[in-house]
Amino acid sequence: MKHIVLFFFTTLRLWAYEYHLKPIQVSQDVYCFFGKTENISKENGGNMVNTCFVKTKEGFVVIDSGPTFSYASQAYAQMQKISKLPVKIVINTHDHDDHWLGNSFYKSKDSLLIGPLTYEQNVVPGMHTRMERVLGNKIFEGTKIVKLDKVVEKTYNFTLGDKEFEVKKLVDKAHTKGDLIIVLPKEKIVFAGDLVFNDRLTSIRDGSIIGSLKALKLIDEMNATVVVGGHGYKTDRNATKHLEAYLEEMKREVLSAIEDDVSISDINKRVLMPKYKTMKLYDALQKRNVFEAYRELEFYTDEEEE
């Protein structure tokens, strides 16, 4: 009897938060869990982010590990339903905490953790994250901060089983100072991390509007058939278009305001971009984005793009 009880406890681990994760197949052997297009909350358990996994003959490659240990554990359980393969590699696209707090789960599975230099610089064991603050101890249970096994500064290519992977940083600063994209060159699939947003506004507080536009152009030039962003549900070759249009309009409007000597304290009265008012997170992010764009574009000249 004792054994039976123990069996149930080890196989049916009950988490404080049930994510109800459902893998969506976006291409052959490629699946993603799409999070809600909203801010972090106790109600969504931090599941406002997209994470993906690629099945190879040797095991899985995971792109972004999600917001908590229990999210990663529940994602892993879903992967095992597709195939009883180990997770060999986990790649973190950037150092924002919704994308990598599941790392400690994969560390416990002996996966190799790969990420950008900014993770190495900014993610310190023992530090407190915004995710932990919002979710509280219960949902966050088991989540620890772990170091990477491999840092990618510029590019890193590898083959696992039957699949080739390219990990690369496209520009110095876009969404952050260290954004990695993951490309499956043969299958023409791009995991763009937060260089691509859909169905909600982005935040450029840690990034650059010019760098973001440059990165989006480089992704367009890859002519991928599948492009998965860090947030939002569109995954076709036009997945970049929403953010591109938003940032182009902001650049144009802020530059024209600067031309008219509008000061930074008045910029949010001038640049409202009403077409995006109904877009999710407009109220939370629009003003700050315009402010950051002004700070960057104040000293901007076209030649910088050459």
**In this complex, which beta carbon is closest to Zn ion, that of residue 40 or of residue 226?**
40
Options 28-36, 51-59, 90-98, 266-274: segment touching Zn ion (CB under 5 A)? 90-98
Binding residues for Zn ion, total number by CB under 5 A: 4
Work out the number of other CB atoms within 10 angstroms of the CB of residue 146: 17
Residue 6 in tokens:
């123990």
Chain positions 203 to 232 lying near Zn ion, rule: CB under 5 A, are 230
Sort 148 into a burial class: Cβ within 10 Å, 0-12 / 13-18 / 19+.
buried
Residues 159-198, interacting with Zn ion (CB under 5 A): 194
Q: Which is nearer to Zn ion, 94 or 251 (CB)?
A: 94
The 10 Å CB-count burial string (b at 16+, else e) for 184-200 is beebebbbbbbbbbbbb
Q: Which CB atom, from 59 or from 230, has the smaller least distance to Zn ion?
A: 230
Q: Where are the alpha helices (DSSP H) in the chain?
A: 2-11, 69-82, 103-108, 117-122, 130-140, 209-221, 241-259, 267-270, 282-297
Closest approach, Cβ 97 to Zn ion, in A, equals 9
| DSSP codes of every residue in 107-137 | HHTTPEEEEEHHHHHH--TT---HHHHHHHH
Pick the piece of the chain touching Zn ion (CB under 5 A) from 33-41, 79-87, 98-106, 214-222: 98-106
Min dist CB 144 to Zn ion, Å, is 20
Q: Which is nearer to Zn ion, 96 or 200 (CB)?
A: 96
Give the residue among 258, 166, 167, 280 at the shortest CA–CA distance from 209. Answer: 258
| CB 125, min distance to Zn ion, A | 21
44 near 38, Cβ under 8 Å?
yes
CB of 86 to Zn ion, least distance (A): 26
Query: Among residues 194 and 206, whose Cβ is nearest to Zn ion?
Result: 194
Q: Which is nearer to Zn ion, 98 or 296 (CB)?
A: 98
Q: Near Zn ion by CB under 5 A, which window of 60-68, 89-97, 114-122, 262-270?
A: 89-97
Dist. CA 293–CA 204, nearest whole Å: 8
Q: Closer to Zn ion at the Cβ: 96 or 163? A: 96
- The least distance separating Zn ion from the CB of residue 94, rounded to whole angstroms, comes to 7
For residues 96 and 280, which CB has a smaller minimum distance to Zn ion in the complex? 96
Query: Comparing C-alpha atoms, which of 92, 70, 87, 74 is closest to residue 23?
Result: 74
Q: Which of 44, 98, 108 is nearest to 66 (CA)?
A: 98
Judge whether 55 and 83 are in contact, CB under 8 Å: yes
Q: Binding to Zn ion (CB under 5 A): which residues in 227-256?
A: 230
Cβ atoms of 132 and 145 closer than 8 Å: no
* Least distance between Zn ion and beta carbon 181 (Å): 14
Q: How far is CA 148 from the centre of its chain?
A: 17
Q: Kindly state the smallest distance separating residue 271's Cβ from Zn ion, in Å.
A: 24
Q: How far is the CB of 139 from Zn ion (least distance, A)?
A: 18
Which positions lie near Zn ion, rule CB under 5 A?
96, 98, 194, 230
